[in-house]
Each structure stands twice: as C-alpha cells, then as structure tokens.
Amino acid sequence: MPTQARLLRVLESGEFLKVGSSKVEKTDVRIVAATNVNLTQAISEGRFREDLFYRLNTVPIKIPALRDRGEDAALLFRKFASDFAEKYQMPAIHLTEEAKEALVKYPWPGNVRQLKNITEQISIIETNREITLDILKPYLPEPIVGTLPALFGVKQGKGFENEREILYKVLFDMRQDITDLKKTVGDMMCAQTSSEPLKPHADAPSIHPVPALIPQQLHRVSESSFSKEVNDENINVEELEDTLSLDEVEREMIVKALSKHRGKRKDAAHDLNISERTLYRKIKEYGLDK
C-alpha cells in the first residue's frame, strides 16, 4: 500500500524521492499497467487503492485468454513460425488441418507465451516442415490445473490468497508459541531465584523437553548475576515478548532516538543515519507526531 501511494504521487505530480534522499525529483513518463487480478475485488478487500485504480484505468484494454480467442491461436502460430524462420534462416513450418484443429482446441494454460515457445521448439527441432497432429501432440502437454495437491479445508478457486492466509496463520501461531515459551522461561527464572514453586503460564505450550533442559542452563549462571538480572527495574514483560515485526522495531528505534535528542529531529535523523525528510515521513506514518 505505501508503494501504491508513491506511484499515485508520481502519476499525479510527476514527483518522487530516491531511497534515502530528501531531494524531490521530477519525471515525465507514461504508464502501461497489466494485471490478471480482479482489481475491483482487490479494492473492496482493501488490497488496492481506489484512487490509484481510477488514475491507471484511463484507457482500459481487456484481452481475453488465448483459449477464448478461437482461430487466433492458428494465426499467431503462423506469425511466430514466420518470425523464427527468418531468425534461424530456415523454411517456415506449417500445420495440417488436423494439427490446426488441435491447436485451436488446446486450452493454453501458459497463454500466448506458451504458444510462442512451442512454435520455436518445433521450428528448431523438427526436420519436417509440415507439422501433422502426431508431430504436434508431444509438444502440447496435458494441462496440470486441478492435478496439484489440494489444501484441506480450502475452497477451490481462491488459490494463492487462501494459501497466504494459511501461512499467515501458521506464522502467527509460531510467534505466539515463542512468546509463551519466553514467558515460561521468565517464570522459571523468577521461581529459581525466589525458591518459589513454578506455576506454568496458562497459555504456555506443553513442550516437555523445556523443563528438563532449563535447570541445567540455570546452574551455569551465578546466583548473584541471576538475581541482579531479575531485580533490574529495566526488565519488564515487554522484553520477554519480542515481536517479529520489523515495523515495531523501526518505530522503537525512532522513539529512542527522539528521546535521546530531546525531540530534535535533525539530530535524531543523523543518529539513525537517515534523511530528515525520511524521519518526518516515518514519524507521521507511525503516529509519533501526536
């Protein structure tokens, strides 16, 4: 989404910033954009900016898939055959009626690119310039759509979107397990120093090897240093709940730099090794200017 905002600015004003630079530069370009995504649906799901869509959608050209274009497959085959004959300095290949009919009926999952590659393969490999159905068939693989492993409980037709959701859920669960494990270790450390019985965290995952291994590690740490770490006022629960978000780490670094330099953004930007303009943008992005 941030990249979409930057592209929208380029389209509206022609202005952009290079990475790490605070100098506004101008450009004058034309944009030709292509997609196989349903952008109207993406807008409704919050994955694509509506204003950018209308900015790009000036002269829309909807091109149907090759399998829906009838005789176009034969015409394109003849065109590509002519091009490759000129490129490789050899006679052009041509199809028999049976081969032409099979070519038109083929579903072409790889669209025009697949047709072009197959035409080039046949032009180079085959010595016979007349391509019969028997010659053509080995070059038309069976479509693999529908034969790939299916995800259990996932509705067909959603494809990568559902797979991405599953990956996000797995990563989120892993992150939660790590956080709970850190809480458990923290509780065990506190219990070891205070000689109190260990109370497992309510949400902690039941991982059996941990209780057996942790005491062995604890014996390696002296009681004095151990007690100092536990009683240190700077240690809090948040440090045990490290997140895996780069955005939160970046925000924390900016907050610490601003606090260190008492709100002086120029000094904070120099300390963070970024431009002052970039720091302003990050402060606004993370809501630190309130």
Q: What is the pTM of this model?
A: 0.42
- 272: CATH: 1.10.10
Say whether both 123 and 73 belong to one domain.
yes
Q: Is 84 domain-assigned?
A: yes
CA–CA distance, 101 with 232 (Å, rounded to integer)? 80
Whether the CA torsion 150, 151, 156, 162 is positive or negative: it is negative
Q: Return the structure tokens found at 172.
A: 């989120």
Domain count, the chain: 4
Reported as type and span, the H/E element at residue 16 is strand 15-17
Whether the CA torsion 268, 273, 276, 277 is positive or negative: it is negative
Q: Which of 226, 221, 179 is nearest to 203 (CA)?
A: 179
Full domain range(s) for residue 269: 246-285
Reported as type and span, the H/E element at residue 74 is helix 72-88
Strand boundaries in 185-245, DSSP class E: none
Q: Is 226 domain-assigned?
A: yes
Predicted confidence pLDDT, tens digits, the chain (290 residues): 888 988 898 888 888 888 888 888 998 888 899 888 889 999 999 999 999 999 999 899 988 999 999 899 999 999 999 999 999 999 999 999 999 999 999 999 989 999 999 999 999 999 999 999 999 999 998 876 544 444 444 444 444 445 666 666 677 778 778 888 887 887 777 776 655 454 555 554 444 444 444 444 444 444 444 444 444 444 444 444 444 467 777 788 888 888 888 888 888 888 888 888 888 888 888 888 76
Asked if 25 and 18 count as a contact pair (C-beta separation under 8 A), the reply is: yes
